[in-house]
């Protein structure tokens, strides 16, 4: 689904994508493989991937950023990202904090997206996303595998 969002809503060359909550980097590696038009992929997480499970080691277009997800948003200028995928700490307050930090970093017309919407395992995601986007001019769309997204 994320690959489709990138192909449909990001520039065909030079796009910047951020995965917030990268874990092993599976998603960033997938974007790297299937989205050659993405110029730079930033994978943000509190922990570095274990060497034997690191999916993004040695991928030339992927940069790993270690640290608090909301704090790392400060590394980016406002309106500098084409797509952000929020999938870090799933507690309601943490999701809200990530959205508040990362949404300004997305370009107008870019995509704000995430994972685990309406998941029983992660009940904080849905209320945080719903409250953050209440009154947002673009509809919140839901896709397979509990992926949510909207246009900024």
Measure the CA–CA gap between 68 and 19, rounded to whole angstroms.
Answer: 13
Predicted pLDDT of residue 83: 98
pLDDT score at 133: 98
Average pLDDT over residues 56-83: 97
* Per-residue confidence (pLDDT) for residue 130, from 0 to 100: 98
Following CA atoms 49, 52, 57, 62 in sequence, which dihedral angle do they give, to the nearest 10 degrees? -40
CA 49, 51, 56, 60 torsion: positive or negative?
A: positive
Q: What is the mean pLDDT of residues 140-148?
A: 95
Q: What are phi and psi of 23, to 5 degrees?
A: 55, -110
Cβ atoms within 10 Å, residue 13: 9
Give the residue ranges of DSSP H helices in 26-134.
26-34, 69-72, 92-102, 125-132
What's the rounded mean pLDDT across residues 144-152? 96
């Amino acid at each position: 689904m994320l690959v489709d969002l990138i192909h449909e809503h990001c520039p065909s060359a030079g796009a910047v994508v951020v995965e917030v909550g990268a874990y092993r980097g599976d998603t960033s590696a997938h974007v790297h493989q299937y989205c050659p038009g993405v110029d730079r992929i930033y994978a943000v997480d509190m922990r570095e991937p274990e060497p034997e499970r690191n999916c993004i080691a040695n991928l030339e277009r992927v940069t790993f950023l270690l640290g608090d997800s909301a704090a790392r948003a400060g590394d980016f200028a406002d309106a500098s990202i084409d797509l952000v995928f929020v999938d870090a700490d799933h507690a309601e307050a943490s999701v809200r904090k990530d959205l508040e930090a990362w949404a300004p970093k997305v370009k107008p017309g870019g995509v704000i997206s995430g994972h685990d919407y309406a998941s029983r395992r992660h009940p904080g995601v849905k209320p945080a996303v719903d409250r953050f986007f209440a009154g947002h001019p673009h509809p919140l769309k839901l896709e397979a595998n509990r992926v949510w997204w909207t246009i900024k």
